[in-house]
Amino acid sequence: MAINKVVAGAQEATTGIEDGMTLMLGGFGLCGIPENCIAEMVKMNVTGITCISNNAGVDDFGLGLLLQKKQIKKMVSSYVGENDEFERQMLSGELEVDLIPQGSLAERCRAGGAGIPAFFTPAGYGTEIAEGKEVREFNGKPHILESALTADFAIVKAWKGDTAGNLVFKATARNFNPMMAMAGKITIAEVEELVEEGELDPNTIHTPGIFVQRIFQGTGYEKRIEQRTVRQKG
């Protein structure tokens, strides 16, 4: 029998998240975000948090809900458009923002979970991102040193999960979730469908259960579409 990671719901899953902590939250835009845990943190009113997340949600959804209540002290992201309240807080100096190239952000999370303290990347060389960072040439090309990221809690959203914490993501809702799951001291996974151990095919698991400490089946997923683009038939 596998180690059981199941908790009752978002409330139990988020126990121990305290003011001033650093959190990682999976998702790309509003795609693959942990909706239940975000709602729970709004309720808990945890403040002064640092959020490592590719984006910052929109005004009234995703991390925008935490921004509205001024619960976030600092955002670590690659792109933060589409959010007026974010802009207001950033320009007024209430919110700190650390912008990181998207590939470096993904790799820094992966490195954090994989025990690699730092790595060299060409991304950002010669730009303001490189300021104060070590530069070294490899194969005749300059690279900058980027450090690993970890978090007190990583909060991810998966399509299916089992009681052992194994996760399967759906389509592009995968995005940053697998790397962040690796990089949390405690990783919380909320899933659309929670199944018994043995029900997921081990060959198709994206995130092995070792990276997940708490798992629960979420409810009422809204799955908002940010840019609904369609074509007409015929």
Residues that bind other proteins (CB under 8 A): 28-32, 54, 77-81, 87, 90-91, 97, 99, 101-107, 109-110, 121-129, 159, 170-179, 206, 223-233
Note whether 128 and 98 are within 8 A (CB): no
Side chain identity at 80, as an amino acid letter? V
Nearest residue (CB) to other proteins, 40 versus 146:
146
> Distance between CA atoms of 161 and 208, rounded to whole angstroms?
10
Place of tokens 């902590």: 21
Closest CB 221 distance from other proteins, rounded Å? 9
Closest CB 97 distance from other proteins, rounded Å? 8
Closest CB 229 distance from other proteins, rounded Å? 4
Q: Report residue 84 as tokens.
A: 């007026």
Closest CB 54 distance from other proteins, rounded Å? 7
User: For residue 165, which of 190, 140, 192, 137 has the smallest C-alpha distance?
Assistant: 190
Note whether 189 and 40 are within 8 A (CB): no
What 3-state DSSP class applies to 129? helix
Closest CB 196 distance from other proteins, rounded Å? 24
Q: Report residue 67 as tokens.
A: 């921004």
Closest CB 139 distance from other proteins, rounded Å? 11
User: For residue 34, which of 167, 203, 197 has the smallest C-alpha distance?
Assistant: 167
Nearest residue (CB) to other proteins, 1 versus 201:
201
Q: State CA 22 to chain mean position distance.
A: 11
Give me the helices (H) in 142-214, please. 177-183
Phi and psi (nearest 5°) for 94?
-75, -25
Nearest residue (CB) to other proteins, 73 versus 224:
224
Closest CB 151 distance from other proteins, rounded Å? 16
Other residues' Cβ atoms within 10 Å of the Cβ of residue 221: 12
Nearest residue (CB) to other proteins, 23 versus 80:
80
